Amino acid sequence: MSEQTGRYIVIEGHDGTGKSTQVDILRERLATYSIDSVEFSEPALDPKDGNEDILIADALRTIIKNGTLERNPLTDLFLFSAARHEKWHRKAIPALALGKWVIASRNYYSTEAYQGYGKGLDLNLIHAQTLLATDERYMQPDIAVILNLENETERQRRIDSRGELETPDAFESLGNDFQSRVQQAYPHIAERYAVPIISAVGTPATVSKKIWAVIKPHIQN
């Protein structure tokens, strides 16, 4: 195991920007530096690490993602907060204490984008509720990047390539106006939290090089 201090890394962005792929690539690259890492997906489900000890978070994810279950954005905030509370305290904090890097695809920036800018929920309420469910370490990642893909046709093509879902996704199935509000939210979020925006155009290898340029300076020699 690496003797380096554990770090909390967030790869954020709209659906279809390749976050999960970049998490996988980053973890492989960190391993070449003898840095242990864990995957941390939100709202839950880390298929490559196993998730047996936080099944409640997976159950909440099923509800959150089910587009046939109508709800208001405040309900979404409560559901996301419950899932985050379980995962952060039961997976991320222990991993960080062991010196592992926690590599997350999404964090509360997504809630600001989707429930805040997308559905009109107050951003200060989102921030306060998320802090209550997690802690200051969660609220302030060591490193974060936002992947950006402005071409809506390409973004939708990437989503469609995943195949048809058994039930409509609660957020991907919403209309163009909603998706546009989410897309437009990320520059505001990037400015608010001083997070660099990285173009998701190109091959995964091309995008990963840009992400690595941000992360490598934080690795101890």
pLDDT digits (tens, 9 = 90+) for 67-122: 888 889 999 999 999 999 999 999 999 999 999 999 999 999 999 999 999 999 99
Lookup: tokens for 140 = 């302030």
Q: Given a cut of 70, is residue 165 above it in pLDDT?
A: no
State residue 174's pLDDT score.
Answer: 76
Contacts of 90 (CB under 8 A, 6+ apart): 53, 54
CATH among 3.90.1280.10, 3.40.640.10, 3.40.50.2300, 3.40.50.300 for 8-218: 3.40.50.300
pLDDT at 5 over 90: no
Position 3 pLDDT exceeds 60: no
Question: What is the percentage of the chain residues whose pLDDT exceeds 90?
Answer: 67
pLDDT for 120: 96
Between 119 and 53, the more confident residue is 119
Backbone torsions φ then ψ of 210, nearest 5 degrees: -70, -40
| DSSP secondary structure letter of residue 176 | H
Q: Which of 57-66, 104-113, 114-123, 138-147 has the lowest mean pLDDT?
A: 57-66
- The per-residue pLDDT of the chain, averaged, comes to 88
Backbone CA torsion sign across 72, 135, 185, 14:
negative
The pLDDT assigned to 49 comes to 59
* Cβ atoms 27, 37 nearer than 8 A: yes
Q: What is the rounded radius of gyration, in angstroms, for the C-alpha atoms of the chain? A: 17
Query: Alpha-carbon distance 151 to 128, whole Å?
Result: 33
Give me the residue spans of the domains in the chain.
8-218
pLDDT given for residue 110 in this prediction: 95
Q: What is the mean pLDDT of residues 179-200?
A: 96
pTM of the model: 0.88
d(CA 126, CA 73): 10
